[in-house]
Amino acid sequence: MSVSFIVVQWENENSVSVVNEKEVVGAVELKERKTVDILTGTNKGRVAIYRATILKVCDGMESRYKMVKLFVDNLIQG
C-alpha cells in the first residue's frame, strides 16, 4: 500500500502545499474539492490544525516536485 500525497489550497490564504495523507485529521476519503483539517507543526515546536481544500490526490510513486509542477502548470494555462 503506497502513501498518498495531496495538493491543498489553505483556507483564507493564497498558497498551495503538498501534504502527506497521514497529516489529515480523521478518517476521511481523500478526494478533490473536499475540505479537510491538516495537522502541522509550527516554527515553535507546537502542533496546529489548519483547514484546506484538496486540489489533487496523488499516489506515493509521484514526486512532490512533479505534483506541484503539474499543478502550477495547469493554473498558468487557465
Residue-wise pLDDT tens digits, 30-44: 999 999 999 988 888
Name the more confident of 78 and 13.
Answer: 13
pLDDT at 76 over 60: yes
Task: Return the percentage of the chain with pLDDT > 90, whole number.
Answer: 29
Query: Percent of the chain scored above 70 by pLDDT?
Result: 78
Stretch 58-77: mean pLDDT: 69
Give the pLDDT score at 49: 93
* Domain assignments of the chain as residue spans, ordered by start: 5-77
Instruction: Give how far Cα 34 sits from Cα of 2, 15, 22, 24, 43, Å.
Output: 21, 17, 16, 12, 27
| Confidence (pLDDT) at 33 | 93
What distance in Å separates the CA atoms of residue 25 and residue 34, rounded to the nearest whole number? 13
Residues 6+ apart with CB under 8 A from 53: 8, 9, 11, 33, 34, 35, 36
